[in-house]
Amino acid sequence: MSWSPAGLDAWRGRTVIVTGGNSGIGLRAAQALRGHRAGVGLACRGVARARAGADGRGVR
């Protein structure tokens, strides 16, 4: 089984909710999806954490 970032182009124009997107793997996934023109929203345990993760990264 293999994975390629080229498959992320399928997300272009779609909206994605990433849980735990304020740090770690969730943040990297959100950034990768945003880089491939997906709309990205973060679902985090606190508003402050979500804002910190989204700040300056093109996610909301």
Whether the pLDDT of residue 28 is over 80: the answer is yes
CB atoms within 10 A of CB 10: 10
Is the pLDDT higher at 57 or at 29? 29
Q: Is residue 16 part of a domain?
A: yes
Q: Is residue 48 part of a domain?
A: yes
Is the pLDDT higher at 1 or at 16? 16
Q: Is residue 40 part of a domain?
A: yes
Q: Is residue 43 part of a domain?
A: yes
- Considering only CA atoms, give the Rg of the chain: 11
Q: End-to-end alpha-carbon separation of the chain, Å?
A: 32
Q: How many domains does the chain have?
A: 1
Whether the pLDDT of residue 16 is over 70: the answer is yes
Domain of residue 46, residue span: 11-54
